[in-house]
Amino acid sequence: MENIGDREIDDLEAASDYIETRQVQSYRQNGFGLWRAVSRETGQSLGLCGLVKRDGLEFPDVGYAFLESAWAKGYASEAAAATLAYARDHLGLKTLAAITKPDNKASMRVLEKVGFQFRRMITLPGHDGPSTYFTITI
């Protein structure tokens, strides 16, 4: 929650509403959204990754969040790289953005590993405090 923000999703009904209002709407409006990331071995949900159209950013944003049990195992890097390939090969996008909280060093390493470059600090509408801003040309 610290790095992705509290979406006030505390139960199944709230989760269902979030999926319907935010994710389905994103696919309808933008042609993209977030995907569930699962373990190839077990099928267990590990987190999510995909593209978000965020107010205040010129380009679609690569976003991801993984359960703590999935951290430091390469899942975020693998999912982010797959998202870049999908954006380039299927959506025809040329440039993508990504943001993190300034103290989220692990997420910054993921972004740099898949080719993003830090550009500057920015402040986005609805965010508490500044964010690191990265872009990549794919």
Q: Show me where the domains of the chain are located.
A: 12-137
Q: Confidence class of residue 128 from pLDDT cuts 50, 70 and 90?
A: confident
Percent of the chain surpassing pLDDT 90? 65
Q: Please name the helix (run of DSSP H) or strand (run of DSSP E) that holds residue 131, with its range, or none.
A: strand 131-137
Residue 8 has pLDDT above 70, yes or no: no
User: Tens digits of per-residue pLDDT, 79-109?
Assistant: 999 999 999 999 999 999 999 999 999 999 9
- CB-based contact 65:4 (threshold 8 Å): yes
Q: Confidence class of residue 5 from pLDDT cuts 50, 70 and 90?
A: very low
Nearest-angstrom CA–CA distance, 124 and 55: 7
Q: Which two tokens stand for residue 65?
A: 């969040």
Mean pLDDT of the chain: 88
What pLDDT is recorded for position 20? 65
Mean pLDDT of 60-81: 94
Q: What is the CATH number of domain 12-137?
A: 3.40.630.30
What pLDDT is recorded for position 112? 98
- CB-based contact 40:82 (threshold 8 Å): no
Pairing, β 45-52 against β 61-66: antiparallel
pTM of the model: 0.84
**Residue 120, strand partner residues:** 133
User: Tens digits of per-residue pLDDT, 36-61?
Assistant: 889 999 998 888 899 999 999 999 99
Nearest-angstrom CA–CA distance, 59 and 52: 9
CB atoms within 10 A of CB 69: 9
The beta strand positions in 1-138, using DSSP E, are: 34-38, 45-52, 61-66, 95-100, 117-122, 131-137
Mean pLDDT of 115-132: 94
What pLDDT is recorded for position 16? 58
Q: Distance from CA of residue 104 to its chain's centroid?
A: 14
> Is residue 89 packed enough to be buried (19+ CB in 10 Å), middle (13-18) or exposed (0-12)?
exposed
> Is residue 20 packed enough to be buried (19+ CB in 10 Å), middle (13-18) or exposed (0-12)?
exposed
